Amino acid sequence: MTALRARASAAPGPGYKWVALSNTTLGVLIATMDASIVIISLPAIFRGIGLDPLAPGNIGYLLWMILGYLLVSAVLVVVLGRLGDMFGRVRIYNLGFLVFACASVALSLDPFRAAAGALWLILWRMVQAFGGSMLTANSAAILTDAFPARQRGMALGVNQITALAGQFLGLLAGGLLAAVDWRAVFWLSVPISVTGTIWSYVSLRETAASRRGRIDWLGNATFASGAGILLAAITYGIQPYGGQATGWTNPWVLAGLLGGVFLLLVFCLVENRVAEPMFRLALFRVRAFAAGNLAALLAAIARGGLQFMLIIWLQGIWLPLHGYDFADTPLWAGIFMLPLTLGFLLAGPVSGHLSDRFGARLFSTTGLLLVAASFVGLLTLPVDFAYGPFAALLFLSGFGQGMFSAPNTSSIMGSVPSQHRGVASGMRSTFQNSGTALSIGVFFSLMISGLATSLPSALGDGLRAHGVPAAAAQHAASLPPVSTLFATFLGNNPVEHLLGSGGILAHLPAAQRQALTGHTFFPHLVSGPFHHGLTIVFGVAAGMALVSALASALRGRHRLPEEPAAHRDARPGRTPTGPPVEDRGSR
């Protein structure tokens, strides 16, 4: 035991930084892939457990399968980053790999069916998110400790772009594995997480001194409950309520929104009064830290809206119009979105490396302007677009997000003292994960509101024109648009969902039945209403990207932070042990 302690405390060799980079990159890759891998594979998962997620009362299972992981990630990363500062970042990171591996095994062994099977998956997804939060909360801090300032942007660029690319690679992997077996979606994580667990325990070392302190119990309680209640209210806000398309007038949703905001305000008051706060609000006095996190939050909201709207656009309209069966659209949507991932992978490491020399502001701000331009370009495309311009705009968006993410992360992490890097990494992840969760509520609500104004009349007229009785057509047209939206999201034929594969369809002439359930009826019918909603969504996303670019530009001028290896805190702009102060270059 003594020998192990001596080995763990020994100064790492010059090659250790590359070991830390490869291991933490594997950790964030598997954590972010599993955040999105179920999105494409949800149809296979629900078929496997024998549950119809679109049946009345079951949409909640669908939403929590998607949002449960994101909610836990958004709420816990700051807590786990703070624990990393107190007890060792590598220790918390290693434990995260172990928790993630155990949860992956439990998910693949779901013994139940129907509602019980769905609850098993939702709960273990949350446990998996707990392990993933340990990984993402401490990975950036571990890299910031391991790499000198002149290489930090490159290292964080590789790490963060891998994390963002993992969100889109998860879509592709989910489509491929779901075609084999729904359990294979979770099997993928088992060998990777087990290997990562063993490797991290063997290879990673604590390179920064941990500082034991008191756990901020009141701050933890108010933040976790406030953020959790707020995000849960947003989850239920996009579900229909009464005769309305969304649930934002639901008293419980309103109470959750107000209660969540109130608890977060209480949390801010608590953090300004406790001696050792969980969430160091003083870090926001550093302009680079505050501006970088605001830019990251808005960019994450815009990126989340892009991801989900593209999936619905491809699966519900474009792919069926080009001859793809609805059941095959989840896989092909992931494939046709690959230019987005390619843009990430090309721009991230390069911009991270160049930002070490020229500063984060130029690259991150330019990247966000490219993202805004890509949203405007997507607005100009017809619903049935030519793939070449569409792919080019996806690549531009991915390239811009890659240019932004790595320098922004390097700027945030390099602006704080080393003893606060764990909590700073957690705070950064909280803004990013919260943005992704918020994007679902914001953009689904915008799309549903847009569809609610024009879809019912278009759907009713189209069904009646193909022989559907007026009463049945009126009933189908009056169903909440969210149900139709999720049907396309799950790769189901929306008309079969609305009318039933038997019943009304069975009594129609064969020609009419074939026309209604074919590849073109629903896409042509919904193109107009969908494009109206898409205009609202992408317009708002472009605006958010521009505001994010403004925040990024306000981060301050670049300074060249070269630091001796033994004195990484003795840098301009901060005291070695005290709170951060604004550096001269940011004025």
Residue, of 162 and 13, whose pLDDT is higher = 162
Give, rounded to a whole angstrom, the gap between the first and last alpha carbons of the chain: 50
- pLDDT (0 to 100) of residue 245: 74
Express each pLDDT in 270-315 by its tens digit.
Answer: 888 887 777 778 888 888 888 888 998 989 888 877 777 888 888 8
Q: How many Å apart are CA 173 and CA 163, to the nearest integer?
A: 15
Average pLDDT of span 361-366:
90
**Digit-coded pLDDT (tens) for 189-218:** 888 888 888 988 898 888 766 666 677 788
CA–CA distances in Å: residue 586 to residues 150, 450, 565, 576: 19, 42, 24, 19
In sequence order, what E strands does 446-556 have?
none
pLDDT at 510 over 80: yes
Angle 371-373-374 from CA coordinates, rounded to 5°: 65
User: pLDDT-derived band of residue 4, with 50, 70 and 90 as boundaries?
Assistant: very low
Q: Give 35-88 as a DSSP string.
A: HHHHHHHHHHHHHHHT--TTSTT-HHHHHHHHHHHHHHHHHHHHHHHHHHHHH-
Residue 1 clears pLDDT 60, i.e. is over it:
no
- CA-CA distance, 300 to 77, in Å (whole number)? 16
Rounded average pLDDT over 68-91: 81
Tell me, what's the pLDDT at 500? Answer: 67
Task: Indicate the average pLDDT of the chain.
Answer: 81
What share of the chain in percent tops pLDDT 90? 16
Residue 352 pLDDT exceeds 90? no
For every residue of 127-187, DSSP letters joined together read: HHHHHHHHHHHHHHHHHHHHS-HHHHHHHHHHHHHHHHHHHHHHHHHHHHHHTT-TTHHHH
Q: What topology is assigned to 8-215+278-451+530-560 in CATH?
A: Growth Hormone; Chain: A; (1.20.1250)
Domain range list for the chain: 8-215+278-451+530-560, 216-277, 452-529
Beta pairing partners, 244: 241
> What's residue 583's pLDDT?
36
Closest CA to 493 of 540, 468, 471, 526: 526
pLDDT at 454 > cutoff 70: yes
Instruction: Give percent of the chain above pLDDT 70.
Output: 90
Which contacts (CB < 8 Å, 24+ apart) does range 396-399 have? 396/343, 396/370, 397/306, 397/340, 397/343, 397/370, 397/371, 398/339, 398/340, 398/341, 398/342, 398/343, 398/344, 398/347, 399/343, 399/344, 399/346, 399/347, 399/367, 399/370
Which pLDDT tens digit goes with each residue over 415-430? Answer: 888 777 777 777 887 7
Compute the distance between CA of residue 187 and CA of residue 170 in angstroms, rounded to an integer: 13
Element (H, E) at 386: none
pLDDT tens readout for residues 242-279: 777 778 888 999 999 999 999 989 988 988 888 777 77
